[in-house]
Each structure stands twice: as structure tokens, then as C-alpha cells.
Amino acid sequence: MASDTGSNFIRTRIDSELADGRVQQVVTRFPPEPNGWPHIGHAKSICLNFGLAASYGGRCHLRFDDTNPEGESEEFAQALANDVRWLGFDWGDHKYYASDYYEQLYVWAESLIERGLAYVDESSEEQIRAHRGTVTEAGTPTPFRDRSPADSLDRFRRMRAGEFDDGAMVLRAKIDLTSNNMKMRDPLMYRIKKQSHYRTGDAWGIYPFYDYAHCLSDALEGITYSLCTLEFENNRELYDWYVQHVDTGADPAPQQIEFARLALTHTVTSKRKLKQLVLEGHVSGWDDPRMPTLAGLRRRGVRPEAVRELCDRVGVARANSTLDPALFDQIIREDLDAEAPRVMAVLDPLPMVVENWDADVDWIDAPLWPSEFGLEGERPIPFAKNLFIERADFKVKPAKGFKRLAPGRSVRLLNGYVVTYTGHEVDADGNVTQVRVSHDPKTRGGDARSKVSGSIHWVARDTSMEATVRVYDRLFAAAAPGLEQDFLLDLNPASLKTLTARIEPALSFAEGGSHWQFIRAGYFFADVQDSEPGKPVFNQVVSLKDSWKKQETLVQARKAANAPGKVGDKPDPLHPKRAKALRDLGIDEDTARVLTDDPAHDAVFVAVVAKHAQPESVAKFLVNEVIPAAEQAVKLDVAPGIAALLAMVDSGKLTTKLARKVLAEVLTGGDPVAIAKRDGLTVVSDSGELLAIATKAVADHPEEAQKFRDGNGRMMGFFVGKVMKATGGKADGKAAKQAVEAALGTWQDQMVQILNESKASDNK
């Protein structure tokens, strides 16, 4: 799976170690502790470890780091394995459990004791802490530090045999009580814990600590790069010490490399807190669609593609930062754009009567996709005298800027007719209960000859259906939950709204697991658990626009990923005049600011525009792709290369993703055309070739093809994935989709057929 292929400090290091022969094969691992469900932060680690290994033709192990019996379970291990697979990664035969290494770790511990490198300490926890000293004061030995190896060995064996109580003593490495690094001041290796383990049962009454177990598990498995989050930076010295002092035979020795955690505002990712939300019933479970768990995201309707894209775009950095979820929302929208057919649903229905409509139901063919997609498929929508529109789309006294229906105005009913206000009714409390309009028969299908205030969606009253729709908002109202008060007090009381919406007929066939865009409302997903045949329940995946003011743009996010900073604040441009000049070229505020803040980049911009006369596209490309990929300011002499690269992207010869692969070389003076040719990177958009590939994929997977024909929209992604795989990810997405549709016959056609049949039976 092509994840993490851009340049970053880890890749730079791997490249050089592969080049000088220290490492022959890249072996990584994803090491979750099975004590909770994986969340979006884990996804970052999964994509990085699996993606990195795959991109170097190496391998990545799935290792359950289960060295603490408390709270660990097979249920969690299963959930973790499931989610890794869902994200699109595969560990092959390399699934391991640290608990399988207990015996080996124990034998190694004995050998450290025998060599005088570890000792059993009977001091209490407090005594050990007191003797360890402080950052400014060296530690001092406890009375047990100099006991003989034979004495320690005897006690360690009796610890294992269960002769002592919890906390009576511990095994410590004998390293250096004066080290500047507190972790090196005789760290703990083993503790007594008489607790059953979900895999080893009561076989062990002592358990190793993370620092001792993790590095040696890496060594045992032949891991070359042990990637972990930044808070382990100080543990690296200890990691290396154990690897050096235990004869594991690992060659090369595994190395720990730290990277920044993925964190989002308005989100908690601590497993303890997530568990509390579940156990106390603040959410419906680990897979509640508001949860940042992968199970929650999946249930909401986020596709693994979007999660991988987020991890890719955030990149790998060495400075911690916190992203605004608005960035993730935007990625989800981009991902679903070509996945979700357009349909109409009215979430908060207000009755509308078309007074001059005397005809029967008028079935209008409406496209399922925006015309520019070039995708076929339409469904009939019924227009009739009685309709529903969105309550918010009619205002008796419209505020300034309101562009929808109001007294004296006309609006276009999307794909239907232009209607003009004629009257409305209110109840005793003044609430509008009905709007009356007249329609213009010449405007069928949404033709816009008449002047209108705007376009709104609608459904017919008698031929629409009720459906439960859940609209989600952020689970936490505070940007940093728990910072100022108990995190539970920061919960957003309005994070879930359950509505009874009215949906158009085509949607009644929506199968659990299908994605839809409800026009003007958002992307929705038919819930896999709660939908029944003919009775779908929809979850809002994401709204169409961000309703949260403090939006962080991608530009800021990428800057933040490269340099620590606050989220959400918008600094002023350093060169306001120049920034304004760029804005006058149609470039947005953030892009203009980032580009002009560094005159070197501004100069590259001017040079590239001279070759490639599209300032907007140049600016975006520089700010979103080139500058983040460069380690220093981009130099003027690479401008021709960037212009050539951008020309390839804009003409569709190279996807942005592929362009990222070429970028590092272009930044050091490479010619993009030659590089793309050398690496065989240009996009496959030849429809004949793609059709042949798609046809073969269909022939190879008859069961999936049948599911698709039976209306399972998810199978589309399956086949497009096959085409992508067969072309090594180089197929143009839209062309691939068209090829698959041609190979299968479209399911939209099927749906229209079913609808026509039901229409025919209605008319009887």
C-alpha cells in the first residue's frame, strides 16, 4: 500500500544506511498493547510502519506488546488486527506476541545478573525513588546494589517461583546512578505481579517492563527500525544499552527512531479516557461514530483511504503539533466526492404546496453525479403537488444575504421546476406550517431561464420515505479537552442529533455500507448495523462545508507539522503589499501569506509563473507540496524543474501523489520528465488498457461482481482498487472507475430499472 512515500528524516536515514550496507532489508513493527481499541493516532503509526516497510520492499510485523497483564485481552488484540487489515495493511506470517518471549527474556535477565549487570533490589518504591536522585543531583546506591550475582540470581529465581509478594522486590539493571539521563539510573527490569495474563495464564508471577522487553523483542524479530513517538526519546539510550549488553545475535542491531505523535484538537486519544467514555455510557461504544477510534470512524462512514491520506499529508515530523479536525474533514470530503452519488433528502421537512400543479406525479430523470465527472447514471425523482423543503430554506423575514425562498421570491427546486412564493401558513405560535408556491412549467429539470434567488433541494410528500438520520458534531466542545477542567465537562452536549428525515425513493434501496451525498446537506453513510432492507439509517460522515469558524487550512497544518506552533491563529503576512498582490491574482489568503513570507519562495513563484502561466495553481503547488518537502528554502535554480513537474500534474500525466515521489529529486536539480520516465511513473489513462484490466478483474472475482450487480456499491471501490493495484497505482482514478463501470454494467441502471418497475405497479 503506497503510504508514506514522500521524503522525511526517517527515509533520509534509511536511504543512507541501505547505501552504506549497514542495513540490507527494512524491517519495522507496529507494537500495540492490546488494552484498548486503536484510534486515529495509532493509524499514524500503522501507516508509517507498514508504509515505510512496503515502500522499501521490506516487511512490517504486527506485534502485540502484551507485557502488562492488567487490562489486556484477546478482544482488544482482535480489534487491533482487524483495524490494521481494514486500513489496508498486511503482516503476512509476521504476527507476534511479546508474551511468547517471556522465557527468552527471563533467560537473558539471568545472564545479565550473572555478569553483574543486574541485581535484585528489595527497597520499597519510595526508597528507590529517593535513591535515584534528581536532574541536578546524582543518585546513590541502595543497600542491595552490591549484593553478589549469586544472591541476586537466587532471589530472581524465587521471584519467578512465586515465593514473594507483589512489590517485595524488583530486578534492576546496574548501569549508572550518576547518568544525566534519569532513565539510565538503574532502571527496573522486572516486577512481581501475581496476576493472570490473557495468554500465559498463571504461568508467570513476574512481568518485564517495557524498556527491557521492547528492544529485545525487536532484536529477536530482526527489526531494523523501531519507530516510536517522541516521548521515548530519553529511553533510546537505554534501548541501546540492553541491545548491546544482551547477546541477541541481532545483526544489524535494531535502532529506535522517534517521530511526532498525531494529535487532533477537540479529541482525546488516551486509551484510559476513551475507555472511560465507553464504560460510563457517554458514547454508545468503542465504535460510536463520534469516537476517534478506527472502529468509530469506520462506523461513521470514513473510508480507510481517507485515514491513510490524512497520515500521508501530515507527514513525519520531529515536532509535536495538534491538528484541527477540519483538515481531516476536508480530506474525507475529497475522498467521498467520487464515491457518493448525489441524491436528495430533507432533514427538517417543511410542507410545500405547488398550487398550480394539477398533473399526476411527474418523474424527472436526475443525474446521480455532477456532469463534470463524466460518470453515467441517473435516477427518476417524482415531482408532485405536495412537497417537502428544508425548514431553513424558507424565511418569512429573510436576513440580508439569505439566498433562498421568501415572500416575493422565486427559487429553483433542484432538478425540478422554478417555483414562486404565493403564500404561507403559521400555527398559533407563529411557526410556519406550510409554504405555498406556483411553478413555471417551462423550467422542468431545473432549467434556469427565470431569475431565481437560489437553488434548494426537496422531496415529494407522498413518494418520499421517512428515515432516521444521525447528524454528528465534535464530541468535545473544547479544543483541548481536560486542559482546564475534567475532560467530561468538555463534552459537547449537542454532538449527536437524531432526525427523522424524508428521503427520495432511490435512497430506500441504500444498503448498509453505502455512501451518498445528500445534496446541500453533506456526505452520509447507511449504517451497517442499524440499516434494514428498505429501512436505511444514515450517519452523517461529514458536512459539505465546515461550520467551525476556526478552520485550519492544509497550509497551516503542514507548516505546523514541520514547526511547532499554535493551531488556529492566523499571523499577519510579513510582506503585506506583496501578499496583497498575490491575492489579486486569485490566490487565497493563507497561500499568499506563506508564499510571500519568505522572499526566496516568492522568487521561485515568480520564476515558475513565467514558465507556467497559472499563478493559482503554481502557488498551491509550491505551498502544499514543494515547500513542505524541501529541507531548506527552495532555490531559484530548481524553478524550471518545478515548472516542468507542475505542467505534468496539470495536464494529468502525473497525479499529485506521484509528483511527490519525484519532488525530492527535482529539488536537488533533477529533471522531472526524465525521472518520471525512468521510474515508470506516468499515469495510465488509456481507456482500452484500463478496460482490459478491469474486465480481467471482474472475471477473476465473480462473487464480488455479483454483489456489485446486486447493488452493493462498496464493490465499486473493490474493483477500482484491483485496477489501481494492477497498474501499480498509476491509473487515473476517474478513468479507472469508468473502466470498472463499463466492465460491470452500472448498478445505477439496475436501480432505475427497479424504480421503473415499482412505478409501473403503482400505476396499476
Q: Which residue numbers are catalytic?
A: 33, 261, 271
Q: What is the residue type of 15? A: D
For residues 270 and 434, which CB has a smaller minimum distance to ligand ATP in the complex?
Answer: 270
Q: How far is the CB of 34 from ligand ATP (least distance, A)?
A: 8
Residue list 120-149, contact with ligand ATP (CB under 6 A): none
CA distance 108 to 171: 12
Q: Which stretch, 27-35, 50-58, 108-116, 598-606, contacts ligand ATP (CB under 6 A)? A: 27-35
CA distance 504 to 464: 5
User: Do 690 and 726 contact (CB within 8 A), yes or no?
Assistant: no
> Is residue 505 near ligand ATP by the rule CB under 6 A?
no
Q: Which stretch, 265-273, 320-328, 521-529, 607-615, contacts ligand ATP (CB under 6 A)? A: 265-273
Q: How far is the CB of 229 from ligand ATP (least distance, A)?
A: 4
> Is residue 42 near ligand ATP by the rule CB under 6 A?
yes
Q: Which stretch, 38-46, 324-332, 677-685, 754-762, contacts ligand ATP (CB under 6 A)? A: 38-46
Among 44, 342, 385, 412, binds ligand ATP (CB under 6 A): 44
Among 3, 8, 28, 45, binds ligand ATP (CB under 6 A): 45
Q: Contacts from 276-281 at CB under 8 Å and sequence distance 24+?
A: 276/488, 280/488
CA distance 396 to 406: 6
Q: Which stretch, 29-37, 443-451, 575-583, 638-646, contacts ligand ATP (CB under 6 A)? A: 29-37
Q: Which stretch, 153-161, 170-178, 242-250, 260-268, contacts ligand ATP (CB under 6 A)? A: 260-268
Q: How far is the CB of 74 from ligand ATP (least distance, A)?
A: 15
Q: Is 742 exposed, middle or buried (0-12, 13-18, 19+ CB in 10 A)?
A: middle
For residues 41 and 505, which CB has a smaller minimum distance to ligand ATP in the complex?
Answer: 41
Q: How far is the CB of 30 from ligand ATP (least distance, A)?
A: 6
Q: Which stretch, 259-267, 348-356, 421-429, 517-525, contacts ligand ATP (CB under 6 A)? A: 259-267
For residues 41 and 641, which CB has a smaller minimum distance to ligand ATP in the complex?
Answer: 41
For residues 42 and 308, which CB has a smaller minimum distance to ligand ATP in the complex?
Answer: 42
x/- map, 49-78, ligand ATP, by CB under 6 A: ----------------x-------------
User: Which is nearest to 271 in space by CA: 44, 72, 86?
Assistant: 72
Dihedral of CA 131/173/103/240: which sign? positive
For residues 105 and 755, which CB has a smaller minimum distance to ligand ATP in the complex?
Answer: 105
CA distance 739 to 691: 5
Q: How far is the CB of 261 from ligand ATP (least distance, A)?
A: 4
Q: Which stretch, 41-49, 512-520, 676-684, 711-719, contacts ligand ATP (CB under 6 A)? A: 41-49
Q: How far is the CB of 272 from ligand ATP (least distance, A)?
A: 7
User: Do 100 and 156 contact (CB within 8 A), yes or no?
Assistant: no
CA distance 31 to 214: 9
Among 47, 105, 262, 491, binds ligand ATP (CB under 6 A): 262
Residue list 213-252, contact with ligand ATP (CB under 6 A): 228-229
Q: How far is the CB of 32 from ligand ATP (least distance, A)?
A: 4
For residues 311 and 347, which CB has a smaller minimum distance to ligand ATP in the complex?
Answer: 311
Half-sphere exposure of 695 (CA within 13 A, CB side): 7
DSSP SS3 for 341: coil
CA distance 505 to 755: 8
For residues 256 and 514, which CB has a smaller minimum distance to ligand ATP in the complex?
Answer: 256
Q: Which stretch, 264-272, 380-388, 556-564, 602-610, contacts ligand ATP (CB under 6 A)? A: 264-272
x/- map, 266-285, ligand ATP, by CB under 6 A: ---xxx--------------
CA distance 596 to 310: 26
Residue 341: asked if its preceding bond is cis (omega within 30°), the reply is no
Q: How far is the CB of 228 from ligand ATP (least distance, A)?
A: 5
User: Which residue's C-beta sits nearest to ligand ATP?
Assistant: 41
Among 32, 254, 292, 416, binds ligand ATP (CB under 6 A): 32
For residues 81 and 673, which CB has a smaller minimum distance to ligand ATP in the complex?
Answer: 81
Q: How far is the CB of 314 from ligand ATP (least distance, A)?
A: 10
For residues 258 and 288, which CB has a smaller minimum distance to ligand ATP in the complex?
Answer: 258
User: Do 744 and 698 contact (CB within 8 A), yes or no?
Assistant: yes
Q: At what angle do helices 304-314 and 554-562 cross, to 10 degrees?
A: 50
Among 7, 28, 33, 608, binds ligand ATP (CB under 6 A): 33
SS (H, E, C) 67-116: CCCCCCCHHHHHHHHHHHHHCCCCCCCCEEEHHHHHHHHHHHHHHHHHCC
> Is residue 495 near ligand ATP by the rule CB under 6 A?
no
Half-sphere exposure of 76 (CA within 13 A, CB side): 22
CA distance 372 to 57: 38
Could you tell me where the DSSP H helices lie in 565-686? 576-584, 589-597, 599-611, 615-621, 627-629, 639-650, 656-667, 672-678
Phi, psi angles (nearest 5°) of residue 499: -115, 155
Residue 146 Cα distances to 121, 167, 589, 650, angstroms = 10, 20, 66, 71
Q: How many residues bind ligand ATP (CB under 6 A)?
A: 16
CA distance 169 to 172: 10
DSSP SS3 for 721: helix
CA distance 170 to 163: 13
Q: Is 364 exposed, middle or buried (0-12, 13-18, 19+ CB in 10 A)?
A: middle
Residue 358 CA, chain-centre distance (Å), reads 51
For residues 476 and 524, which CB has a smaller minimum distance to ligand ATP in the complex?
Answer: 476
User: Which is nearest to 48 in space by CA: 92, 14, 76, 23?
Assistant: 14
For residues 98 and 469, which CB has a smaller minimum distance to ligand ATP in the complex?
Answer: 98
Binding footprint of ligand ATP on the chain (CB under 6 A): 31-33, 41-42, 44-45, 65, 228-229, 261-263, 269-271
